[in-house]
Amino acid sequence: MFERKRVVITGIGLTSPIGNNLDDFRTSLLEGKSGVQKFETRYMDDVVAGVCDFDTLKYQKKKEVRRGTRAGSISIYCANEAVTDAKIDCAAEDTSRIGVYIGTTEHGNVETENEIYNISKYGYDTQFWTHHHNPRTVSNNPAGEVTLNLKIKGPHYCIGAACAAGNLGLVQGYQMLQLEEVDYAIAGGVSESIHTFGIFAGFKSQVALGTHESPEKVSRPFDRDRNGIVVSEGGCLYILETLEHALKRGVDKIYGEVVGYANNSDAVDFVLPDADTQAVCMQKALDFAGIKPEDIDILNSHATSTPMGDQQEAKAINRVFSDSDNTFVNNTKGYIGHAMGAAGSLELAGNLPAFNDNIIHPFLNLDNLDPDCEIKNIVMKKPLKRENIRYILNNSFGMLGINSCVIVKKYED
């Protein structure tokens, strides 16, 4: 056994459908702003999505954007914003000691669909297939594009973990710091999913794609009238480092301390989640952190606005937290939809400012609570002010029964 090092968050870079930095993202959450809008995709009508609008040329040249991928551009934007936020001068660092660990739901579908569509215009003649296809579609592409952009020579790879990926990118960074493999971890999750029509078509064929006459009302987790998800893009990457390292270099801002996590598998169904295993995952994260359910102040639910998925998570939360009067449950997908591989990292970021302002943002579009999703202390309608928020638990679950939880504590000397 070895003594765990204290790992802290010293930088955050993000892009979301409701903001391209933490301040704007947080303001939108507290003001109840939706980022869901009508969206055009091939072969389908009446699609809505969470769409990001960030400056791709802030850290890339036009040629680099054309050569790379949307996931790569999101990753590069978020990584540069995080590095700047943490006041790291990569040129002055030993970049072999910087690791890049990015969670993704999938990668390569966007580029493959685009190329097939392009060659369809030329009788499917493969001589018109781009020579950039292979580096665009390899699974390490988003993380690799970050290393090329920032000239980082440390380890990089992507963690394929369905919709649990954002949490698990963070976990991977934490683990590599514990092993002393790196001094900094750029870690989190990204998603370019809205740019593949296949994901919309797939969810529609599963009868899992949400609909409503108003785009901003489509994503409504835990609501009695919910009928499916909203697919979104986005990204959030963190700078993680040990507390000792952060203090030694004189950081002036620490967002929180990563104190617990867990990851397990349902082993039940391809898509239907299992409440029993989700409950075990949450309890394991609590055990890792050495705390009790009542110590958690905010529990950010994964709830995606699907009928069965939301019910299963509600059951799991009740099994672990039914006796806790101090734990308040909120959700982020009503605002931005389901950002897939970025969901966990984005949703955690939106709650971190609560350590300073002690405000919990509410569910959005939770107008009529489903009795099967009833949980003690659900934050509905308006933000909730508390006295002292110290612990946040972030749930992220995904297809093939992958579950993840991360616990972050308010930084205290």
* Residue 242 bridge partners (DSSP): 7
Is the Cβ–Cβ distance between 340 and 331 less than 8 Å? no
User: Residues of the chain with pLDDT > 90: what percent?
Assistant: 99
Query: What pLDDT, on the 0 to 100 scale, is given for residue 401?
Result: 97
From the centroid of its chain, how far is CA 406?
Answer: 11
**Which position has the token pair 């987790």?**
221
Query: What pLDDT, on the 0 to 100 scale, is given for residue 65?
Result: 98
- Positive or negative, the CA dihedral 335, 338, 339, 344 is positive
Given pLDDT bands bounded at 50, 70 and 90, which one contains residue 182?
Answer: very high
Q: How far apart are CA 329 and CA 381, in angstroms?
A: 13
Given pLDDT bands bounded at 50, 70 and 90, which one contains residue 46?
Answer: confident
Query: What pLDDT, on the 0 to 100 scale, is given for residue 269?
Result: 97
Residue closest to 164 by CA, chosen among 74, 284, 262, 79: 262
CB atoms within 10 A of CB 9: 27
**In the chain, what is the straight-line distance between the N-terminal and C-terminal CA atoms, in Å?**
24
**Three-state secondary structure call for residue 291:** coil
Is the Cβ–Cβ distance between 405 and 262 less than 8 Å? yes
Q: For residue 63, is pLDDT > 80?
A: yes
Alpha-carbon distances of 113 from 52, 117, 273, 334, rounded to whole Å: 21, 6, 29, 29
Q: How far apart are CA 402 and CA 162, in angstroms?
A: 7
Mean pLDDT of 33-59: 96
Give 262's contacts (C-beta < 8 A, 6+ positions apart): 281, 282, 283, 284, 285, 288, 403, 404, 405
Tens of pLDDT, residues 292-331:
999 999 999 999 999 999 999 999 999 999 999 999 999 9
What is the value of pTM for the model shown? 0.97
* Own/partner pairs, 72-75, CB within 8 angstroms, 24+ separation: 72/141, 72/142, 72/144, 72/145, 72/146, 73/145, 74/15, 74/142, 74/190, 74/191, 74/192, 74/233, 74/234, 74/235, 74/342, 75/102, 75/142, 75/143, 75/145, 75/146, 75/190, 75/235, 75/237
Give 202's contacts (C-beta < 8 A, 6+ positions apart): none
**Of 39-48, 134-143, 278-287, 303-312, where does mean pLDDT reach its minimum?**
39-48
- 10 Å CB burial of residue 383 (0-12, 13-18, 19+) is middle
Give 379's contacts (C-beta < 8 A, 6+ positions apart): 328, 329, 330, 360, 361, 362, 363
Question: Please, what is the Cα angle at 122 between 118 and 124, to 5 degrees?
Answer: 75
Copy the structure tokens of residue 213: 């006459």
CB atoms within 10 A of CB 296: 26
- 353 Ramachandran zone, left/alpha/beta (phi>0; psi -120 to 50): alpha
Query: What pLDDT, on the 0 to 100 scale, is given for residue 84?
Result: 98
Angle between helices 165-178 and 343-351 (to 10 degrees): 80
Residue closest to 3 by CA, chosen among 247, 248, 253, 244: 244
Given pLDDT bands bounded at 50, 70 and 90, which one contains residue 366?
Answer: very high
H/E element, 159: strand 156-160
Buried b (16+ CB within 10 A) or exposed e, 164-200: bbbbbbbbbbbebbeeeebbbbbbbbbbbbbbbbbbb
Query: What pLDDT, on the 0 to 100 scale, is given for residue 2?
Result: 73
Query: What pLDDT, on the 0 to 100 scale, is given for residue 1?
Result: 57
Question: May I ask the CATH architecture of the domain 7-248?
Answer: 3-Layer(aba) Sandwich (3.40)
Domain 260-409 fold is Peroxisomal Thiolase; Chain A, domain 1 (3.40.47)
**Which position has the token pair 């609501």?**
223
Tens of pLDDT, residues 105-144:
999 999 999 999 999 999 999 999 999 999 999 999 999 9
Alpha-carbon distances of 210 from 46, 98, 318, rounded to whole Å: 11, 40, 26
Residue closest to 28 by CA, chosen among 38, 15, 42: 15
Parallel, antiparallel, or unpaired for β 7-15 and 234-242?
antiparallel
User: Residues of the chain with pLDDT > 70: what percent?
Assistant: 100
Question: Please, what is the Cα angle at 87 between 86 and 89, to 5 degrees?
Answer: 125
Q: Where are the domains of the chain?
A: 7-248, 260-409
Mean pLDDT of 206-218: 97
Query: What pLDDT, on the 0 to 100 scale, is given for residue 195?
Result: 97
Q: Using alpha carbons only, how large is the chain's radius of gyration in Å?
A: 20
Same fold across 7-248 and 260-409: yes
